[in-house]
Structure 1
């Protein structure tokens, strides 16, 4: 059993959000990565793909999720299951949002049209 205290959680900041890793292979030796996303009002992540399914549960605020050409409006309490290998973008609404995300450990991201993949630090 591994206990990861809040003070030990890894925080990664991007231009779109702050990701707080709760568990991952390098944080608690977990085989599932779980993290929180805190996104400020009006911010948007880039169009990208993930090579594994992700499950996003929105805890607070609102967001727009563009997923493989479909646009979803989400609010606190909603969960979006994002399939692997589809272009996605998550944009915060006027109050921002907080979500908890789960994905298989080692899931990699890429940009549309690029074969280059990278392991986001909040999943590692």
Structure 2
């Protein structure tokens, strides 16, 4: 076994919109990929943003409405959405149930948005 990351080593990052628990990332045992859980309170919404790399979101509990490049998708438990790189997106947690999702993407991925310089989010690094 090359790398084992124990539950106690998971890193938690809280923003005004969500809490991300990083299970693996380049600074946490992975070589190139990052894997994390997103928990959003009922009615929470992330900012409009663009990710430089592709991400895959799998909904574990709750629900979400995701706006991607002007299109809208409603997601529930068991649904998986592949979000393409370089496309404006926004994620809204269900008003009653919130959202819990498991997400993966490149470990060096950058987020940017209107009026914001690209940065690697701490839960991805």
Structure 2 equivalent of residue 98 of structure 1? 100
- Which portions of structure 1, spanning 4 or more consecutive aligned residues, are displaced by more than 6 angstroms? none
Q: Deviations over 1:7-34 (max 9, x none)?
A: 1100000011100000000001431000
* CA displacement 1:53-74 (0-9 Å, x = unmatched): 0000000011100000001111
RMSD over aligned Cα atoms: 1.0
Flag structure 1 segments of 5+ consecutive residues without an equivalent: none
Q: Secondary structure at the match of 2:114?
A: coil
SS for the counterpart of 1:88 is strand
Aligned length: 123
Aligned mates of 2:6, 2:92 — CA distance in 1: 29
Q: CA deviation at 1:97?
A: 1.0
Residues 82-102 of structure 1 show CA distances to partners (whole Å, capped at 9, x for unaligned) of 000110011100210110000
Q: Which runs of 5+ in 2 are unaligned?
A: none
User: What TM-score results when the alignment is normalised by the length of structure 1?
Assistant: 0.96
**1:1-124 aligned within 5 A:** 1-93=2-94, 94-112=96-114, 114=116, 116-124=117-125
Q: Is the Cα–Cα contact under 8 Å of residues 49 and 112 in structure 1 kept in the other structure?
A: no
Q: Note the C-alpha offset of 1:105.
A: 1.2
